[in-house]
Structure 1
């Protein structure tokens, strides 16, 4: 797993914040006086060159690398498309069919789904590859654990579904369609702010934070098991050396579990993007 110069300190979680400092104290009592320190969120920055707002970081390099990999892979595997596909072409077609028919057509509908399929396919493959970077040696760093990338993708989806809705219905009808009809008039004072907050704030906020939170927390848990196991094995007493085997085993189990989470988060992000687009252009909206 990725090492960060031995500097490790964190308060992280899937759900609520859980202090891991007790783990460090327990390990320290058995090992060196310096003890074990969990990785800190600040170390996700990983600058390569530059400084301040113009720093080029490792996650930025990985995002650029993922775009290059996907571009080369898709062009190479499809430029000589055949009626009877080879293995590479078949894999690309299966992924495209999954997004086209399993997400776009089912959610948006057969009338309008085609124009949004390229966006949804791009989102799914880009997020999935960057998520999988978290368990692929020697990278082992999920790009989406940096909040800026989920926010950027969310802003694209945000702009697409609002613009699509306004172009389809007109600005006035689109905005008024967000409010349920037939409610008692006094309730509208409460409902209108809530509905607009849902469409313009809560949806994009949860879309970005869901992806970021799962990738960030999952990566930190993997690091905790791996680095904790390494520390116990190299610096702990006989008892901790034995326990380190369990820590490495848990890291292996969580790696398989994390692969599932990484796929699900790419799927959920794409599914919600399609849902928001469908909701924006739907006549019932």
Structure 2
């Protein structure tokens, strides 16, 4: 049964804000960009140039930039809510969102492979690498099926989920301990609240770094999987 809970609200807010940012940037786009448009264009260039063109080349990046952009900014928006006051939980810290983005990546690299090599050619190059004795395919092909069609989306999901859950737990522990030490502990123990507060602030900045890094890694791996799908072994 569908349940509209707190994390769903956080995801909805992140989605609305993200769509609004790009809508405003596109609506007010000028030949000479201002600061806001310039910042958005720099962020888009990060995906197009530093990820798309570096992995796929200019032609490949032109074809796949839309899906890479969707993944990068979607994952980033869901990750960043974990450190925003009053939201305080990453939209990607429950398995649903990481799984959805992993499925988008899965569809993207399978579609790219089929479009580039044809369905038969893609399956042949993925599951029956050339230059291998035919008897070895009995062992190799099941491994390739597991690696390409199961482990790739599974590892994308688990990596993102684990990092976001770990970061959320660290922040909860630090700020929960700070509240207890400041308001409920007695005597000299109150002084320890300063240490846990400092640790919480430090982990907040670290979590910001992890939020961006995980979005980058997720998008980079998607580009790598697309590149592998488009080229025969």
* Deviation of 1:240 (Å): 1.8
Distance of 1:156 and 1:204 partners within structure 2: 9
- Counterpart for residue 207 of structure 2: 258
Q: Aligned pair 1:154/2:102, yes or no?
A: yes
* Deviation of 1:231 (Å): 1.0
Partner SS state of residue 270, structure 1: helix
Aligned-pair Cα RMSD in Å: 1.4
Q: Aligned pair 1:120/2:68, yes or no?
A: yes
Distance of 1:115 and 1:58 partners within structure 2: 37
For 2:223, which of 274, 279, 283 is the aligned residue? 274
Distance of 2:90 and 2:208 partners within structure 1: 11
Q: Flag structure 1 segments of 5+ consecutive residues without an equivalent.
A: 1-52
- Name the TM-score, length of structure 1 as normaliser: 0.78
**Alpha-carbon contact 2:14-2:81 (below 8 Å) kept:** no
Distance of 2:10 and 2:86 partners within structure 1: 12
- Counterpart for residue 183 of structure 2: 234
Q: Aligned pair 1:188/2:137, yes or no?
A: yes
* Deviation of 1:111 (Å): 2.1
- Counterpart for residue 112 of structure 2: 164
- Counterpart for residue 5 of structure 1: none
* Deviation of 1:210 (Å): 0.5
- Name the TM-score, length of structure 2 as normaliser: 0.94
- The number of equivalent residue pairs is 232
- Counterpart for residue 27 of structure 2: 79
* Deviation of 1:118 (Å): 1.2
Q: Aligned pair 1:70/2:36, yes or no?
A: no
Partner SS state of residue 177, structure 1: helix
Distance of 2:169 and 2:102 partners within structure 1: 23
Return the structure number with greater relative CO, CA threshold 8 A, min gap 6. Answer: 2
Partner SS state of residue 55, structure 1: coil
